[in-house]
């Protein structure tokens, strides 16, 4: 999966340092990142390439020995040769994986900084805290920490079949599993039962935790569960959410491992008989 970058590791501790010339820089504009692409390779710019244009920056994290910074460029700064703004969502299958994971995590933090420039309590401009990853309000003292949205992914299994879906009205057309955000006041298990029922009319039992995945593109932490069907396998589709849902046997599915998403990891676990 995207976060599996052995032997490297994403070190998330907030310890702002001075950027070195070879530090990586994440610059975002609307839903695009400043990158260079060579075939399936994703390249983020170095500090040295952008230094003259950087107007403001914030320390993000370290991957291996490399520090990553978030930066904004001054208007009119000429982009280094080969670099352009490219949709972040189109990068998930590029390489190296640690760079895609770093970019996705940087995007998550960028969205949080971008959306909290003003205090939601009193409206004053917020300030970056020096010691921890936090924004604070100098007027009312509000402390704002990074926001992560928990969401579930549920693989429902019935005998030797798995419930697969396709989303309605999205560009993502691959097979999906049931998914949805946890509501305030719910447990993750409640979310699984509610989302499966809302999207397909099915009941589930024997929920078994699989694993989690940070998914910065949507500011999510995805929590994967396998569950067994409880009762009738007849599907009542929620057409506002899904265009299709159905039961699929292992030998009907030709879905290669993509090494990226939790959904793919769970479907592959089912196909290979590794599901709990
Ligand atoms: Zn305030």
Q: How far is the CA of 25 from the centre of ligand 1 (A)?
A: 30
Q: Per residue, what are the HEC states of the chain? A: CCCCCCCCCEECCCCCCCCCCCCEEECEECCEEEEEEECCEEECCEHHHHHHHEEEEEEEEEECCEEEEEEEECCCCCCCCCCEEEEHHHHCCCECHHHHHHHHHHHHHHHHHHCCCECCCCCCECEECCCCCCEECCCCCCEECCCCEEEEEEEEEECCEEEEEEECCCCCCCCECEEEECCCCCCHHHHHHHHHHHHHCCCEEEEEEEEEEEEHHHCEEEEEEEEEECCCCCCCCCCCCEEEEEEEEHHHCCCCCCCCCHHHHHHHHHHCCCCC
Q: How far is the CA of 118 from the centre of ligand 1 (A)?
A: 8
Taking only the tens place, the pLDDT of each residue in 14-32 is 988 999 999 999 999 999 9
Across the chain, mean pLDDT equals 95
Mean pLDDT of 40-46: 96
Q: Which CATH number fits domain 10-114: 3.40.50, 3.30.450, 3.90.79, 2.60.40?
A: 3.90.79
Q: How far is the CA of 125 from the centre of ligand 1 (A)?
A: 8
Percentage of residues in the chain having pLDDT higher than 90: 89
Percentage of residues in the chain having pLDDT higher than 70: 99
Q: How far is the CA of 214 from the centre of ligand 1 (A)?
A: 29
Mean pLDDT of 200-224: 97
Mean pLDDT of 77-103: 95
Q: How far is the CA of 18 from the centre of ligand 1 (A)?
A: 29
172 has a pLDDT exceeding 70: no
Mean pLDDT of 261-268: 96
Q: How far is the CA of 131 from the centre of ligand 1 (A)?
A: 19
- Which residues are near ligand 1, the ion (C-beta closer than 5 Å)? 119, 121-122, 124, 137, 139-140, 142
Q: What is the pLDDT of residue 241?
A: 83
Q: How far is the CA of 220 from the centre of ligand 1 (A)?
A: 26
Q: How far is the CA of 14 from the centre of ligand 1 (A)?
A: 23
Domain ranges of the chain: 10-114, 120-146, 149-271
Q: How far is the CA of 43 from the centre of ligand 1 (A)?
A: 38
Q: How far is the CA of 113 from the centre of ligand 1 (A)?
A: 15
What is the pTM assigned to this prediction? Answer: 0.93
104 has a pLDDT exceeding 90: yes
Q: How far is the CA of 126 from the centre of ligand 1 (A)?
A: 8
Taking only the tens place, the pLDDT of each residue in 215-250 is 999 999 999 999 999 999 999 988 888 889 999 999
Q: Which CATH number fits domain 149-271: 3.40.50.300, 3.90.79.10, 3.40.190.10, 3.60.21.10?
A: 3.90.79.10
10-114 and 149-271: identical CATH topology: yes
Q: What is the pLDDT of residue 75?
A: 94
Q: How far is the CA of 78 from the centre of ligand 1 (A)?
A: 37
């Amino acid at each position: 999966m995207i976060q599996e970058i052995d032997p490297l590791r994403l070190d998330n501790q907030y310890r702002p340092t001075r950027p070195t010339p070879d530090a990586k820089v994440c610059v975002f504009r609307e839903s695009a990142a400043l990158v260079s692409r060579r075939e399936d390779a994703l390249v983020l710019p170095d500090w040295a390439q952008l230094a003259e244009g950087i107007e403001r920056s914030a320390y993000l994290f370290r991957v291996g020995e490399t520090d990553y910074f978030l930066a904004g460029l001054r208007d009119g700064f000429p982009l280094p040769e080969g670099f352009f703004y490219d949709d972040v969502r189109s990068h998930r299958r590029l390489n190296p994986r640690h760079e895609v994971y770093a970019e996705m995590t940087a995007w998550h933090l960028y969205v949080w900084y971008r959306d909290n420039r003003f205090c939601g309590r009193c409206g004053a401009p917020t300030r970056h805290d020096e010691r921890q990853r936090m924004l604070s309000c100098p007027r009312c003292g509000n402390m704002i920490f990074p926001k992560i949205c928990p969401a579930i992914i549920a693989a429902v299994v019935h005998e030797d079949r798995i419930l697969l879906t396709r989303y309605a009205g999205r560009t993502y057309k691959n097979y999906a599993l049931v998914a949805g955000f946890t509501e305030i006041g719910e447990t993750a298990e409640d979310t699984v039962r509610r989302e499966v029922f809302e999207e397909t009319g099915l009941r589930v039992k024997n929920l078994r935790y699989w694993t989690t995945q940070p998914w910065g593109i949507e500011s999510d932490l995805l929590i994967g569960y396998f569950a067994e069907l409880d009762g009738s396998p007849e599907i009542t589709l929620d057409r506002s959410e899904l265009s299709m849902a159905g039961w699929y046997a292992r030998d009907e599915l030709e879905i290669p491992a993509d090494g990226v998403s939790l959904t793919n990891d769970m479907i592959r676990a089912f196909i290979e008989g590794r599901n709990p």
